[in-house]
Amino acid sequence: MKSKESSKEDDIQAICELRGAGRNAPLALQLKAIDEEYHYLLDQGQSDKADYVQKLYAWKSKQATQVMHCYSVDFISTLCE
């Protein structure tokens, strides 16, 4: 499972580099780069590749949501102490 996630991260970093965001771009720029790549591939008629990039976007968005949830839980538990 970890190697699959690592492969997705590698692909996302490559897209970010390709789109000028850099390999370790902030999350918002990563999502923007992935979205740009998705639309580019659609415009080029490469729907199979676009489908994969769309899955990368969904995976990264889900990952971001989980991180934000953890921050929220931590913040609330700190307030309740």
- Other CB atoms closer than 10 Å to residue 57's CB: what's the count? 19
Length of the chain: 81
When pLDDT is cut at 50, 70 and 90, the band that residue 4 belongs to is confident
* pTM of structure: 0.76
Please give the residue range of the domain that contains residue 59: 2-79
When pLDDT is cut at 50, 70 and 90, the band that residue 13 belongs to is very high
- Other CB atoms closer than 10 Å to residue 12's CB: what's the count? 24
Question: Shortest CA distance to 38 belongs to which of 9, 6, 12, 64?
Answer: 12
Integer Cα distance of 37 and 33 in angstroms: 6
**What pLDDT does 60 receive?**
93
pLDDT in tens, 39-61: 999 999 999 999 999 999 999 99
Number of domains in the chain: 1
